[in-house]
Protein backbone atom coordinates (compact mmCIF):
# COMPACT_ATOMS: atom_id res chain seq x y z
CA UNK A 1 0.00 0.00 0.00
CA UNK A 2 0.97 3.59 -0.52
CA UNK A 3 0.85 4.64 3.11
CA UNK A 4 1.61 8.30 2.68
CA UNK A 5 -0.62 9.25 -0.23
CA UNK A 6 -4.33 9.45 -0.94
CA UNK A 7 -4.12 7.18 -3.95
CA UNK A 8 -2.92 3.61 -4.33
CA UNK A 9 -0.35 3.06 -7.08
CA UNK A 10 1.30 0.16 -5.35
CA UNK A 11 -1.23 -2.66 -5.32
CA UNK A 12 -1.01 -4.80 -8.46
CA UNK A 13 -4.20 -4.89 -10.54
CA UNK A 14 -5.43 -7.93 -12.38
CA UNK A 15 -5.66 -6.53 -15.88
CA UNK A 16 -5.30 -9.88 -17.61
CA UNK A 17 -8.64 -10.93 -19.03
CA UNK A 18 -9.98 -7.37 -19.28
CA UNK A 19 -9.48 -7.09 -23.07
CA UNK A 20 -6.61 -4.67 -22.61
CA UNK A 21 -3.93 -4.39 -25.23
CA UNK A 22 -0.96 -4.37 -22.84
CA UNK A 23 -1.74 -7.64 -21.01
CA UNK A 24 -4.15 -9.48 -23.30
CA UNK A 25 -2.68 -8.38 -26.64
CA UNK A 26 0.93 -9.30 -25.87
CA UNK A 27 0.63 -12.99 -26.82
CA UNK A 28 -0.49 -12.15 -30.34
CA UNK A 29 2.15 -9.47 -30.91
CA UNK A 30 5.10 -11.25 -29.25
CA UNK A 31 4.07 -14.82 -30.06
CA UNK A 32 4.11 -16.14 -26.50
CA UNK A 33 1.61 -16.45 -23.64
CA UNK A 34 2.18 -15.17 -20.13
CA UNK A 35 4.75 -12.45 -20.79
CA UNK A 36 5.08 -9.72 -18.18
CA UNK A 37 4.18 -6.64 -20.24
CA UNK A 38 6.26 -3.46 -20.36
CA UNK A 39 5.31 -2.38 -23.86
CA UNK A 40 2.04 -0.48 -24.67
CA UNK A 41 2.23 3.05 -23.22
CA UNK A 42 -0.46 2.90 -20.60
CA UNK A 43 -0.02 2.41 -16.86
CA UNK A 44 -1.12 -0.37 -14.53
CA UNK A 45 -2.78 2.15 -12.22
CA UNK A 46 -6.43 2.95 -11.62
CA UNK A 47 -7.21 6.42 -12.90
CA UNK A 48 -8.04 9.33 -10.61
CA UNK A 49 -11.15 8.56 -8.47
CA UNK A 50 -12.56 11.95 -9.48
CA UNK A 51 -12.61 10.78 -13.11
CA UNK A 52 -14.06 7.39 -12.19
CA UNK A 53 -16.83 9.10 -10.18
CA UNK A 54 -17.72 11.44 -13.04
CA UNK A 55 -17.94 8.49 -15.44
CA UNK A 56 -19.97 6.50 -12.91
CA UNK A 57 -22.45 9.37 -12.69
CA UNK A 58 -22.96 9.20 -16.46
CA UNK A 59 -23.36 5.42 -16.30
CA UNK A 60 -25.90 5.66 -13.51
CA UNK A 61 -27.90 8.27 -15.38
CA UNK A 62 -27.92 5.72 -18.19
CA UNK A 63 -28.58 8.06 -21.11
CA UNK A 64 -25.79 8.02 -23.64
CA UNK A 65 -27.04 10.44 -26.27
CA UNK A 66 -24.87 12.85 -28.26
CA UNK A 67 -22.90 15.27 -26.09
CA UNK A 68 -21.84 18.82 -26.91
CA UNK A 69 -18.37 20.18 -26.33
CA UNK A 70 -18.99 22.93 -23.82
CA UNK A 71 -17.18 26.22 -23.25
CA UNK A 72 -16.32 24.74 -19.87
CA UNK A 73 -14.36 21.94 -21.57
CA UNK A 74 -12.38 24.49 -23.61
CA UNK A 75 -11.77 26.55 -20.47
CA UNK A 76 -10.46 23.58 -18.50
CA UNK A 77 -7.89 22.85 -21.22
CA UNK A 78 -6.76 26.50 -21.30
CA UNK A 79 -6.61 26.71 -17.51
CA UNK A 80 -4.62 23.48 -17.30
CA UNK A 81 -2.05 24.77 -19.77
CA UNK A 82 -1.72 28.01 -17.85
CA UNK A 83 -1.52 26.41 -14.41
CA UNK A 84 0.71 23.44 -15.20
CA UNK A 85 2.84 24.84 -18.01
CA UNK A 86 2.63 28.64 -17.82
CA UNK A 87 1.19 28.80 -21.34
CA UNK A 88 -1.47 31.45 -22.03
CA UNK A 89 -4.10 29.78 -24.16
CA UNK A 90 -7.25 31.53 -25.32
CA UNK A 91 -10.11 29.03 -24.79
CA UNK A 92 -11.40 30.00 -28.24
CA UNK A 93 -8.21 28.49 -29.70
CA UNK A 94 -8.99 25.06 -28.21
CA UNK A 95 -10.81 22.32 -30.13
CA UNK A 96 -11.16 18.56 -29.77
CA UNK A 97 -10.23 15.35 -31.52
CA UNK A 98 -10.58 11.77 -30.23
CA UNK A 99 -6.99 10.61 -30.61
CA UNK A 100 -3.73 12.49 -30.86
CA UNK A 101 -2.72 10.30 -33.79
CA UNK A 102 -5.99 11.19 -35.53
CA UNK A 103 -5.09 14.83 -34.94
CA UNK A 104 -1.58 14.35 -36.33
CA UNK A 105 -2.96 12.71 -39.44
CA UNK A 106 -5.54 15.48 -39.95
CA UNK A 107 -2.86 18.14 -39.49
CA UNK A 108 -0.62 16.46 -42.06
CA UNK A 109 -3.54 16.56 -44.49
CA UNK A 110 -4.51 20.11 -43.60
CA UNK A 111 -1.07 21.72 -43.85
CA UNK A 112 0.79 19.72 -46.51
CA UNK A 113 0.10 18.35 -50.00
CA UNK A 114 0.64 14.81 -51.31
CA UNK A 115 4.32 14.39 -52.13
CA UNK A 116 5.48 16.97 -49.57
CA UNK A 117 8.19 16.07 -47.10
CA UNK A 118 7.42 15.90 -43.36
CA UNK A 119 10.30 15.76 -40.90
CA UNK A 120 10.42 13.46 -37.91
CA UNK A 121 13.29 13.09 -35.47
CA UNK A 122 14.07 9.42 -35.07
CA UNK A 123 13.94 7.24 -33.06
CA UNK A 124 10.33 8.28 -32.57
CA UNK A 125 6.84 6.94 -31.84
CA UNK A 126 6.08 4.57 -34.73
CA UNK A 127 2.71 6.03 -35.89
CA UNK A 128 4.55 9.24 -36.86
CA UNK A 129 5.80 7.31 -39.91
CA UNK A 130 2.33 6.04 -40.72
CA UNK A 131 0.50 9.38 -40.60
CA UNK A 132 2.97 10.65 -43.17
CA UNK A 133 3.18 7.71 -45.58
CA UNK A 134 -0.51 6.72 -45.34
CA UNK A 135 -1.35 10.26 -46.43
CA UNK A 136 1.02 9.98 -49.42
CA UNK A 137 3.54 12.39 -47.95
CA UNK A 138 7.24 11.62 -47.65
CA UNK A 139 9.09 10.86 -44.40
CA UNK A 140 12.20 13.01 -44.01
CA UNK A 141 14.27 11.79 -41.07
CA UNK A 142 16.40 14.04 -38.95
CA UNK A 143 17.87 11.46 -36.54
CA UNK A 144 18.50 12.62 -32.99
CA UNK A 145 22.17 12.94 -32.09
CA UNK A 146 23.49 10.91 -29.19
CA UNK A 147 25.81 12.59 -26.71
CA UNK A 148 27.26 11.10 -23.54
CA UNK A 149 24.39 12.42 -21.39
CA UNK A 150 21.40 12.68 -23.68
CA UNK A 151 19.88 12.62 -27.12
CA UNK A 152 19.72 16.06 -28.74
CA UNK A 153 18.24 17.55 -31.89
CA UNK A 154 20.70 17.75 -34.77
CA UNK A 155 20.10 21.29 -36.00
CA UNK A 156 22.87 21.29 -38.63
CA UNK A 157 21.43 18.18 -40.21
CA UNK A 158 17.92 19.63 -39.92
CA UNK A 159 18.93 22.65 -42.00
CA UNK A 160 20.67 20.36 -44.48
CA UNK A 161 17.66 18.06 -44.97
CA UNK A 162 15.30 20.99 -45.42
CA UNK A 163 17.61 22.54 -47.97
CA UNK A 164 18.38 19.38 -49.90
CA UNK A 165 14.73 18.34 -50.10
CA UNK A 166 12.86 21.13 -51.84
CA UNK A 167 9.44 20.02 -50.63
CA UNK A 168 9.69 19.85 -46.85
CA UNK A 169 6.60 21.62 -45.49
CA UNK A 170 6.15 20.37 -41.94
CA UNK A 171 7.71 18.69 -38.96
CA UNK A 172 6.04 16.48 -36.39
CA UNK A 173 7.63 17.39 -33.10
CA UNK A 174 7.42 14.99 -30.16
CA UNK A 175 7.70 17.06 -26.98
CA UNK A 176 8.56 15.45 -24.57
CA UNK A 177 10.08 12.85 -26.83
CA UNK A 178 8.95 9.23 -26.99
CA UNK A 179 11.05 7.01 -26.76
CA UNK A 180 14.21 8.81 -25.57
CA UNK A 181 12.44 10.48 -22.61
CA UNK A 182 13.85 13.93 -23.35
CA UNK A 183 12.11 17.10 -22.19
CA UNK A 184 13.33 19.70 -24.67
CA UNK A 185 14.99 22.80 -23.22
CA UNK A 186 14.01 26.41 -24.00
CA UNK A 187 17.23 26.79 -26.02
CA UNK A 188 16.52 23.76 -28.14
CA UNK A 189 12.91 24.78 -28.78
CA UNK A 190 13.88 28.37 -29.60
CA UNK A 191 16.48 27.22 -32.10
CA UNK A 192 13.90 24.93 -33.69
CA UNK A 193 11.41 27.81 -33.89
CA UNK A 194 13.98 30.01 -35.65
CA UNK A 195 14.79 27.35 -38.23
CA UNK A 196 11.13 26.55 -38.92
CA UNK A 197 10.13 30.24 -39.09
CA UNK A 198 12.91 31.03 -41.54
CA UNK A 199 12.02 28.16 -43.84
CA UNK A 200 8.24 28.21 -43.52
CA UNK A 201 8.01 24.79 -41.87
CA UNK A 202 4.75 24.09 -40.00
CA UNK A 203 5.26 22.52 -36.57
CA UNK A 204 2.73 19.78 -35.84
CA UNK A 205 3.44 19.47 -32.17
CA UNK A 206 2.59 16.35 -30.17
CA UNK A 207 2.65 17.15 -26.46
CA UNK A 208 0.78 14.09 -25.25
CA UNK A 209 3.53 13.49 -22.67
CA UNK A 210 3.67 17.14 -21.47
CA UNK A 211 2.41 16.41 -17.95
CA UNK A 212 4.71 13.45 -17.33
CA UNK A 213 7.86 15.32 -16.40
CA UNK A 214 10.17 14.63 -13.44
CA UNK A 215 11.11 17.15 -10.78
CA UNK A 216 14.54 17.83 -12.32
CA UNK A 217 13.09 18.94 -15.66
CA UNK A 218 10.49 21.43 -16.84
CA UNK A 219 8.27 21.09 -19.86
CA UNK A 220 7.93 24.17 -22.03
CA UNK A 221 5.14 24.20 -24.64
CA UNK A 222 6.91 25.34 -27.79
CA UNK A 223 3.97 27.61 -28.66
CA UNK A 224 4.52 29.52 -25.41
CA UNK A 225 7.93 30.59 -26.75
CA UNK A 226 6.69 31.72 -30.14
CA UNK A 227 6.26 35.45 -30.21
CA UNK A 228 4.59 35.72 -33.59
CA UNK A 229 2.38 33.52 -35.76
CA UNK A 230 5.48 32.30 -37.57
CA UNK A 231 6.13 29.43 -37.71
CA UNK A 232 2.63 28.02 -37.70
CA UNK A 233 2.28 25.71 -34.69
CA UNK A 234 -0.56 23.29 -34.05
CA UNK A 235 -0.29 21.59 -30.65
CA UNK A 236 -2.00 18.38 -29.59
CA UNK A 237 -2.50 17.70 -25.90
CA UNK A 238 -4.43 15.01 -24.06
CA UNK A 239 -5.23 13.75 -20.58
CA UNK A 240 -4.86 10.20 -21.92
CA UNK A 241 -1.28 9.35 -20.87
CA UNK A 242 -1.40 11.75 -17.94
CA UNK A 243 -4.41 10.17 -16.21
CA UNK A 244 -4.24 6.69 -17.71
CA UNK A 245 -7.41 7.09 -19.76
CA UNK A 246 -5.92 6.40 -23.21
CA UNK A 247 -8.68 3.89 -23.99
CA UNK A 248 -11.27 6.67 -23.79
CA UNK A 249 -9.67 8.65 -26.64
CA UNK A 250 -9.94 12.24 -25.52
CA UNK A 251 -7.58 14.87 -26.94
CA UNK A 252 -7.49 18.55 -27.77
CA UNK A 253 -5.70 20.71 -30.32
CA UNK A 254 -4.67 24.31 -30.03
CA UNK A 255 -3.49 26.91 -32.50
CA UNK A 256 -3.44 30.69 -32.39
CA UNK A 257 -3.66 30.93 -36.16
CA UNK A 258 -7.33 31.32 -37.06
CA UNK A 259 -6.90 30.42 -40.73
CA UNK A 260 -4.99 27.29 -39.76
CA UNK A 261 -7.67 26.40 -37.21
CA UNK A 262 -10.32 26.68 -39.91
CA UNK A 263 -8.35 24.34 -42.19
CA UNK A 264 -7.88 21.85 -39.39
CA UNK A 265 -11.55 22.06 -38.46
CA UNK A 266 -12.62 21.39 -42.05
CA UNK A 267 -10.24 18.46 -42.36
CA UNK A 268 -11.50 16.89 -39.13
CA UNK A 269 -15.10 17.52 -40.16
CA UNK A 270 -14.45 15.65 -43.42
CA UNK A 271 -13.39 12.67 -41.29
CA UNK A 272 -16.24 13.24 -38.80
CA UNK A 273 -13.54 13.39 -36.12
CA UNK A 274 -13.98 16.84 -34.63
CA UNK A 275 -15.67 15.97 -31.36
CA UNK A 276 -15.48 13.58 -28.41
CA UNK A 277 -17.82 10.87 -27.28
CA UNK A 278 -19.75 11.41 -24.06
CA UNK A 279 -17.41 9.44 -21.78
CA UNK A 280 -14.30 10.97 -23.33
CA UNK A 281 -15.65 14.49 -22.93
CA UNK A 282 -16.60 13.79 -19.30
CA UNK A 283 -13.20 12.30 -18.51
CA UNK A 284 -11.26 15.11 -20.20
CA UNK A 285 -13.09 17.87 -18.39
CA UNK A 286 -12.89 16.14 -15.01
CA UNK A 287 -9.23 15.24 -15.46
CA UNK A 288 -8.17 18.79 -16.20
CA UNK A 289 -10.39 20.38 -13.56
CA UNK A 290 -10.00 17.91 -10.67
CA UNK A 291 -7.13 15.55 -11.49
CA UNK A 292 -4.07 17.53 -10.37
CA UNK A 293 -3.66 15.96 -6.89
CA UNK A 294 -3.76 12.45 -8.40
CA UNK A 295 -1.22 13.42 -11.04
CA UNK A 296 1.15 14.93 -8.47
CA UNK A 297 1.12 11.67 -6.54
CA UNK A 298 1.44 9.58 -9.69
CA UNK A 299 4.54 11.57 -10.66
CA UNK A 300 6.05 11.09 -7.22
CA UNK A 301 5.48 7.35 -7.56
CA UNK A 302 6.90 7.26 -11.10
CA UNK A 303 9.94 9.24 -10.01
CA UNK A 304 10.74 6.61 -7.39
CA UNK A 305 10.29 3.99 -10.14
CA UNK A 306 12.74 5.94 -12.31
CA UNK A 307 15.29 5.94 -9.49
CA UNK A 308 14.76 2.22 -8.97
CA UNK A 309 15.41 1.47 -12.65
CA UNK A 310 18.52 3.66 -12.72
CA UNK A 311 19.92 2.03 -9.57
CA UNK A 312 19.08 -1.47 -10.80
CA UNK A 313 20.80 -0.94 -14.12
CA UNK A 314 23.93 0.53 -12.66
CA UNK A 315 24.25 -2.08 -9.90
CA UNK A 316 22.92 -5.27 -11.48
CA UNK A 317 22.69 -4.80 -15.24
CA UNK A 318 25.62 -2.48 -15.99
CA UNK A 319 25.82 -3.45 -19.66
CA UNK A 320 22.33 -2.04 -20.20
CA UNK A 321 22.65 1.71 -20.50
CA UNK A 322 20.00 4.40 -20.17
CA UNK A 323 20.30 8.19 -20.45
CA UNK A 324 18.74 9.92 -17.45
CA UNK A 325 15.01 10.11 -18.33
CA UNK A 326 13.59 13.61 -17.96
CA UNK A 327 9.98 12.76 -18.70
CA UNK A 328 7.49 10.06 -19.80
CA UNK A 329 7.04 6.62 -18.26
CA UNK A 330 8.63 4.86 -21.24
CA UNK A 331 12.37 4.50 -21.11
CA UNK A 332 14.87 3.76 -23.87
CA UNK A 333 17.07 0.88 -22.82
CA UNK A 334 20.35 0.47 -24.67
CA UNK A 335 21.46 -3.17 -24.95
CA UNK A 336 24.08 -2.47 -27.66
CA UNK A 337 27.00 -3.51 -25.46
CA UNK A 338 25.81 -7.13 -25.76
CA UNK A 339 26.20 -6.88 -29.53
CA UNK A 340 22.80 -8.40 -30.42
CA UNK A 341 20.72 -7.24 -33.31
CA UNK A 342 17.07 -6.57 -32.73
CA UNK A 343 15.84 -10.07 -33.55
CA UNK A 344 18.16 -11.83 -31.11
CA UNK A 345 17.59 -9.18 -28.44
CA UNK A 346 13.83 -9.68 -28.70
CA UNK A 347 14.24 -13.46 -28.62
CA UNK A 348 16.12 -13.24 -25.32
CA UNK A 349 13.61 -10.81 -23.82
CA UNK A 350 10.62 -12.89 -24.87
CA UNK A 351 11.86 -16.49 -24.62
CA UNK A 352 14.47 -16.29 -21.85
CA UNK A 353 13.24 -13.37 -19.72
CA UNK A 354 9.50 -13.69 -20.36
CA UNK A 355 8.95 -9.95 -20.74
CA UNK A 356 7.41 -7.85 -23.51
CA UNK A 357 9.30 -4.65 -24.41
CA UNK A 358 8.82 -2.71 -27.66
CA UNK A 359 11.61 -3.53 -30.14
CA UNK A 360 13.84 -0.51 -30.72
CA UNK A 361 13.59 -0.91 -34.48
CA UNK A 362 9.86 -0.02 -34.30
CA UNK A 363 11.04 3.54 -33.72
CA UNK A 364 13.05 3.89 -36.91
CA UNK A 365 16.64 4.62 -37.73
CA UNK A 366 19.06 3.85 -34.93
CA UNK A 367 16.71 1.68 -32.87
CA UNK A 368 18.66 -1.55 -33.37
CA UNK A 369 20.01 -2.81 -30.05
CA UNK A 370 17.44 -0.86 -28.03
CA UNK A 371 14.12 -1.75 -26.40
CA UNK A 372 11.48 0.53 -24.90
CA UNK A 373 10.56 -0.21 -21.30
CA UNK A 374 7.35 1.01 -19.63
CA UNK A 375 7.81 1.82 -15.93
CA UNK A 376 4.16 2.79 -15.33
CA UNK A 377 3.35 -0.06 -12.98
CA UNK A 378 3.46 -1.02 -9.28
CA UNK A 379 6.98 -1.33 -7.96
CA UNK A 380 6.65 -5.06 -7.31
CA UNK A 381 5.97 -5.66 -11.02
CA UNK A 382 8.79 -3.36 -12.05
CA UNK A 383 11.20 -5.25 -9.79
CA UNK A 384 9.96 -8.59 -11.06
CA UNK A 385 10.50 -7.49 -14.67
CA UNK A 386 13.98 -6.15 -14.03
CA UNK A 387 14.87 -9.36 -12.19
CA UNK A 388 13.72 -11.44 -15.14
CA UNK A 389 15.86 -9.37 -17.52
CA UNK A 390 18.87 -9.63 -15.19
CA UNK A 391 18.61 -13.42 -14.99
CA UNK A 392 18.17 -13.81 -18.76
CA UNK A 393 21.25 -11.71 -19.54
CA UNK A 394 23.45 -13.12 -16.78
CA UNK A 395 24.96 -15.67 -19.15
CA UNK A 396 26.15 -13.06 -21.67
C1 LIG B 1 4.02 10.64 -28.78
C2 LIG B 1 2.70 9.95 -28.79
N3 LIG B 1 1.69 10.45 -29.51
C4 LIG B 1 0.47 9.86 -29.54
C5 LIG B 1 0.22 8.71 -28.84
C6 LIG B 1 -1.12 8.05 -28.91
O7 LIG B 1 -2.14 8.97 -28.92
P8 LIG B 1 -3.64 8.53 -29.16
O9 LIG B 1 -3.85 7.20 -28.52
O10 LIG B 1 -4.42 9.63 -28.51
O11 LIG B 1 -3.85 8.52 -30.63
C12 LIG B 1 1.26 8.15 -28.06
C13 LIG B 1 1.03 6.90 -27.33
O14 LIG B 1 1.92 6.25 -26.88
C15 LIG B 1 2.51 8.79 -28.04
O16 LIG B 1 3.52 8.30 -27.32
How confident is the model over 331-382, as pLDDT tens digits? 999 999 999 999 999 999 999 999 999 999 999 978 999 999 999 999 999 9
At residue 227, the pLDDT reads 82
Under-50 pLDDT residues of the chain: 1
The answer, yes or no, to whether any atom of ligand 1 lies below 6 A from the CB of 144, is no
Kindly report the protein residue whose alpha carbon is nearest to atom 13 of ligand 1: 41
The answer, yes or no, to whether any atom of ligand 1 lies below 6 A from the CB of 240, is yes
Q: What is the pLDDT of residues 113-157, one digit of tens each?
A: 999 999 999 999 999 999 999 999 999 999 999 999 999 999 999
The answer, yes or no, to whether any atom of ligand 1 lies below 6 A from the CB of 297, is no
At residue 166, the pLDDT reads 86
At residue 228, the pLDDT reads 82
- The tally of CA atoms less than 13 A away on the side-chain side of residue 146 is 13
At residue 1, the pLDDT reads 45
The residue among 369, 330, 366 whose CA lies nearest residue 346 is 369
At residue 3, the pLDDT reads 54
Kindly report the protein residue whose alpha carbon is nearest to atom 7 of ligand 1: 100
Ligand 1 centroid to 208 CA: how many Å? 6
The minimum-distance atom of ligand 1 relative to the CA of 177 is 1
Nearest-angstrom CA–CA distance, 392 and 396: 9
- The tally of CA atoms less than 13 A away on the side-chain side of residue 313 is 17
At residue 365, the pLDDT reads 78
Ligand 1 centroid to 60 CA: how many Å? 30
In Å, what is the CA distance from 391 to each residue of 75, 222, 343, 387, 395?
51, 42, 19, 6, 8
At residue 5, the pLDDT reads 84
At residue 4, the pLDDT reads 65
Nearest-angstrom CA–CA distance, 11 and 381: 10
Specify whether the CB–CB gap between 119 and 129 falls below 8 A: no
3-state DSSP assignment of residue 83 = helix
Domains, the chain, ranges and CATH?
21-48+292-393 (3.90.1150.10), 64-290 (3.40.640.10)
End-to-end CA distance of the chain: 36
Burial of 60-90, coded b for 16+ CB within 10 Å and e otherwise, reads eeeeeeebebeeebbbbbbebbeebbebebe
The minimum-distance atom of ligand 1 relative to the CA of 102 is 11
Q: What is the pTM of this model?
A: 0.97
Ligand 1 centroid to 238 CA: how many Å? 9
Ligand 1 centroid to 339 CA: how many Å? 30
Ligand 1 centroid to 4 CA: how many Å? 31
Amino acid sequence: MNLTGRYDFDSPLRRRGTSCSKWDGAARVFGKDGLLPFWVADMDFRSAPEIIDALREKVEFGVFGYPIMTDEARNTVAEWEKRRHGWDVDPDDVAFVPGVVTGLSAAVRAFTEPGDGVIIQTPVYAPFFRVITDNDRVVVENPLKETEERFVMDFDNLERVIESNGRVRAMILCSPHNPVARVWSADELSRLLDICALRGIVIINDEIHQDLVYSDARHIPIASLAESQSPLILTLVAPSKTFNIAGLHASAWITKDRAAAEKMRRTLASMDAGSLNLMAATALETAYSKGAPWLDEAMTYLEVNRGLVEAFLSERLPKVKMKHPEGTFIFWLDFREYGFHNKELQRILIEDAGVALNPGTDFGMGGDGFARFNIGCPRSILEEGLGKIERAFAKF
